[in-house]
Homo-oligomer: A and B are copies of this chain.
Amino acid sequence: MSKNLTSRAEDYSKWYNELVVKADLAENSAVRGCMVIKPYGYAIWEKMQAELDRMFKETGHQNAYFPLFVPKSLFEAEEKNAEGFAKECAVVTHYRLQNDPDNEGKLRVDPEAKLEEELVVRPTSEAIIWSTYKGWIESYRDLPILINQWANVVRWEMRTRLFLRTAEFLWQEGHTAHATKKEALAEAELMNNVYSEFAENFMAIPVIKGVKTESERFAGAIETFCIEALMQDGKALQAGTSHFLGQNFAKAFDVKFTNNEGKLEYVWATSWGVSTRLMGALIMTHSDDKGLVLPPNLAPSQVVIVPIYKTDEQFEIITKKANSIIQDLKAKGISCKLDGRTTHRPGAKFAQHELQGVPLRIAIGPKDLENGTVELARRDTLTKEIVVMSDLIAKIDGLLKRIQEELFTKALTFRDSHITEVDDFETFKKVLVSKTGFISAHWDGTTETELKIKELTKATIRCIPSDAKNEEGKCVFTGKPSSRRVLFAKAY
């Protein structure tokens, strides 16, 4: 494992790509645009899954599983949604291979095994799920339905990047059905709040909550709530979205219910999702030129112990000591592993754990055994100190909490210092290039202006922040009146 990463200053994009591969998180596969998530990367994703799953269940949701395939006729039923995804659909047309008569030992698609109706590999599951809900809903007593699904989805993207944009990705998608508009809206907002809490408290990533403009909305949604994060290179990243779908899908799939007054009404819907893209957000929020920096909540091992020894006897004593530390930490719910590999030198181990972002590293050598001490190193600050063995467990417990907090604070300070209020288009363009980050500016509310600005600067409206104040102003581009600022940025 080579330690030398391209620095962020040199080439941020290259730094990211190298880091993902060198830290053993993921790699490109033999399938165009699809990634292999390696065990270390997957272990981090499992931590995210476990916490999100807990939060979903705590807010009354259950998991279920719906088919991978969507028959074309169902896929096209909700027109806006179909239009939004049609250009990036993997389509199954045949169900059998056969020996290729022209090519011994090779296979070809059996032309006789053509499907009567093509199957779309789900890019999202509204269509298949609402065609199912039709059979489940008759009366208001069947509502609400609060279901989440952990699944893989496929969107045939032309330009892909590990975790950020891949043809296949893993995600969760919540799909809920409600008797009233008010309830569905509240659900969509609730789940956006769950995402925001998760991002900030668990991943230590500060986010801005808001709603999307019409042109940035999910295809088929009436309102898209979102959380937006800011990466170290000053580009924004949409970290999660929660959609109020109105009655669009209920109408497309004819899903009605009898309300408590005996009248038939269409059902109200939401959907919400976060994906393995969050891995990209995690990496680009906290990591540095030496590699990954993991918030303790997400680290597969929060602490690693590296023994430093010359003799077998020393190795044995240190191993015993290490195992006792591991037990004591485990009792406190802290994960720790001993890197006892005899095939690697301590220096190589230090470099690997630094690259892989293990929050705390303990080194124990012969002198430590004599003195009853260890060397304790923080990954985030790269600082070291000598700790007396008897203080170690309490020290680690406190440090992990502090690291989690400090990573958030650091990212928040960076983010907040990269929100710039701008009132004219020249400054807008300058700030976007020189300072980068979010630009808080007035906008006249038209899609036309939004698209024009995008065309000229590549900046899009990331969101209309939920906490935006009413403030009379003039659109930064057209000068037309505006009543509140929105956030622009270049984005992933």
Q: Which of B35, B75, B107 contacts A76 (CB 8 A)?
A: B107
- Which partner residue on chain B sits nearest A141 by CB separation? B343
A82 within 8 A of B: yes
Are A118 and B128 interface neighbours, CB within 8 A?
Answer: no
Are A91 and B109 interface neighbours, CB within 8 A?
Answer: yes
Taken together as a complex, chains A and B put the C-alpha atoms of A141 and B343 apart, in Å, by 8
Are A89 and B97 interface neighbours, CB within 8 A?
Answer: yes
Q: Say yes or no: A92-B95 contact (C-beta < 8 A), given A65-B170, A76-B105.
A: no
Are A86 and B67 interface neighbours, CB within 8 A?
Answer: no
Nearest chain B CB to A279 CB, angstrom units: 11
Are A93 and B91 interface neighbours, CB within 8 A?
Answer: yes
Are A39 and B90 interface neighbours, CB within 8 A?
Answer: no
A28-81 residues with Cβ-Cβ distance < 8 A to B are 29-31, 34-39, 42-43, 46, 62-72, 74-76, 79
Chain A to chain B contacts (Cβ below 8 Å), 30 pairs = A29-B128, A30-B67, A30-B128, A31-B67, A34-B68, A36-B67, A38-B64, A39-B62, A39-B64, A65-B170, A67-B168, A68-B121, A68-B152, A69-B90, A72-B97, A72-B107, A76-B105, A79-B105, A82-B107, A86-B96, A86-B99, A87-B98, A90-B94, A90-B119, A91-B94, A91-B97, A92-B93, A92-B121, A93-B94, A95-B156
Q: What residues of chain A have their CB less than 8 Å away from a CB belonging to chain B?
A: 27, 29-31, 34-39, 42-43, 46, 62-72, 74-76, 79, 82, 86-99, 105-107, 109, 118-121, 128, 131-132, 135, 141, 147, 151-152, 154, 156, 168, 170, 343
The 5 A-B residue pairs with the shortest CB-CB distance, nearest first, are A34-B67, A39-B62, A37-B65, A86-B97, A95-B156
